[in-house]
Amino acid sequence: MVGILLNEQHLAGALVEAIERSRHRLFIATADVKDLHVPMARRIGRAQSILAVLDELSKRSVEIRLLHSGVPSGPFLARMKLHLPPTLTMRRCPRIHAKALIADGRWMYLGSANLTGAGLGAKSPRRRNFEAGIWTDEPHLIDPVLDALDRIWRGAECADCGRKQHCPVPLEEPEL
């Protein structure tokens, strides 16, 4: 099955769906990371910080991988310094521009939205980005994307990278 998500549909149709489907692993790829607030109405009835939501996943022993290219926003880093979900691992590669959410290797969002309020439609209709993406549970679509992101995650692309001057520490993790 394949479906399309446009604009504000990204928050519930991609992020919340991926969070709710994750039982073992959630792989997130995004260029930009900010401390967006996620409305988890089906579970707690109010919006909460993405880090609090990831912490709930961590308490359920879900491994969370966050692969991103830019330095996370100040508010996101400040929250991380207070408490980092134990099963969250972040790696930064300046070449990442892919935006994907993959839950347990069985469900995937692939599209244009970054892990930000503007990207996922959490901002008002006049301030959010215009985004498009697909979700799927088709293994023949998920597997090659997951394999490509996993190669980057493991550093398999670092040896031949032409942007080493922008990445002196391959796959750097945030300093807390």
All domains in the chain, ordered by first residue: 2-157 (3.30.870.10)
- Across the range 23-43, mean pLDDT stands at 83
* H-helix segments, the chain: 9-10, 17-21, 50-59, 74-82, 117-120, 139-154
Report the chain's mean pLDDT, rounded to a whole number: 87
Distance CA 73, CA 30 (A): 13
Minimum mean pLDDT among 3-12, 43-52, 134-143: which range? 43-52
- Across the range 6-12, mean pLDDT stands at 83
Element (H, E) at 3: strand 2-6
Task: Name the pLDDT band for 174 (thresholds 50, 70, 90).
Answer: low
- Across the range 32-60, mean pLDDT stands at 80
Cα 64 to the center of its chain, rounded Å? 9
Q: In this predicted structure, what is the pLDDT of residue 40?
A: 62
pLDDT tens for residues 161-170?
887 777 756 5
Task: Name the pLDDT band for 41 (thresholds 50, 70, 90).
Answer: very low
Neighbouring C-beta atoms of residue 103, cutoff 10 Å: 23
**Tokens for 8?**
């504000």
Residues 155, 72 contacting (CB under 8 angstroms): no
Q: In this predicted structure, what is the pLDDT of residue 176?
A: 57
Is the Cα torsion angle 82, 67, 151, 10 positive or negative in sign? positive
Cα 85 to the center of its chain, rounded Å? 14
Task: Name the pLDDT band for 114 (thresholds 50, 70, 90).
Answer: confident
